[in-house]
Amino acid sequence: MNTHCLFCKIIAGEIPVDKLYEDDDVLAFRDIAPQAPVHFLVIPKKHIAGPAFLEAEDEQLVGRMMRTGARLAADLGLVDGFRLVFNNGEGAGQTVFHIHLHILGGRQFHWPPG
């Protein structure tokens, strides 16, 4: 745990969130500044600064994040599709340096994004 990390503080229960799911490895909660009608995050409980900092040992954890996000998206009624987003670094829009997966849905998305 990184004591200065916002998401580590959320994991520790120091900051309340609208929790959707939690197990020993991941936590999912609604984004506080949603960019779509449904917008939530899935974060690992292990502190990893971002996608560029993943190690081989983290591959299963990232898969668990994606499976959790997809299952919750279905539970929340996102039957017409949803977007999964990992940002890496400030230039890509990452503002909290603890890897997190955005799941967005409930509206039409366009390509290319951004």
Beta bridge partners of 21: 28
- Look up the pTM and report it: 0.95
* Largest pairwise CA distance in the chain: 39
List the chain residues with pLDDT less than 70: none
Per residue in 78-98, pLDDT (tens digit) is 989 999 999 999 999 999 999
User: Which pLDDT belongs to residue 22?
Assistant: 98
User: Which pLDDT belongs to residue 100?
Assistant: 98
For the chain, what is the radius of gyration of the CA atoms? Answer: 14
**Residues 6 or more apart in contact with residue 114 via CB below 8 angstroms:** 93
User: Which pLDDT belongs to residue 91?
Assistant: 95
Domains within the chain, CATH numbers bracketed: 6-105 (3.30.428.10)
Q: State the chain's mean pLDDT as an integer.
A: 96
Which residue in the list 39, 98, 100, 102 is annotated as catalytic? 100
Asked if 98 is an active-site residue, the reply is: no
